[in-house]
Structure 1
Amino acid sequence: MAQVLELQFETAAGKTATISVDAPKAEVTAEEIQQVMQTIITENIFEVQASAFVGIKGARIVERQVSPFELEIV
């Protein structure tokens, strides 16, 4: 199953911005995630539409399972 770590931030414009990380390490902790998110905010690493990240809204792991169909292509 494919996993994505979504980091959700509040911007100065009051909107939500999400950073997606493919295949996060299995043993990542909430404390590590929070520290990284706070560093992104403190160091002003990203902004969206000229609006800086100002707060942490949340983080989550999203799992996706893909089941392809066997099709005969002619």
Structure 2
Amino acid sequence: MKTLELSFLTGGGKTATIVIDQPKEPVDPSQVKTAMENIIGAGVFLDSGGNSYTAMKSARLVDRTVTEISLD
């Protein structure tokens, strides 16, 4: 399963991450940047300390493969 991880710096100097499952591919970097700017501008997300997101830190597409192991 692929996820898109958007990391932000907060007003408290911490990093906060939003994870989006199964993003539309191919991922367009300019759309990701615009979405992150909109998230910061809207000011609706807060970290655990109540600080808003203030800057973009990073974005990455993560591909994970999980294989179940039978314990029978």
After TM superposition, the score normalised by the length of structure 1 is: 0.89
| Residue correspondence of structure 1 range 1-40 to structure 2 within 5 A | 2-40=1-39
SS in 2 for 1:36: helix
Alpha carbon RMSD of aligned pairs, Å?
1.0
Query: More strand by proportion, 1 or 2?
Result: 1
CA displacement at 1:71 relative to structure 2:
3.7
Counterpart Cα distance in 2 of 1:69 and 1:53? 39
Counterpart Cα distance in 2 of 1:42 and 1:69? 44
CA displacement at 1:27 relative to structure 2:
2.0
Counterpart Cα distance in 2 of 1:45 and 1:21? 17
* Structure number with larger C-alpha Rg: 1
SS in 2 for 1:47: coil
Counterpart Cα distance in 2 of 1:56 and 1:14? 12
SS in 2 for 1:40: helix
The aligned residue for residue 41 of structure 1 is: 40
SS in 1 for 2:52: strand
SS in 2 for 1:27: coil
Paired residues in the alignment total 71
Counterpart Cα distance in 2 of 1:67 and 1:46? 34
Identical residues among aligned pairs (%): 37
CA displacement at 1:63 relative to structure 2:
1.0
Structure 1 segments of 4 or more deviating over 3 A? Answer: none
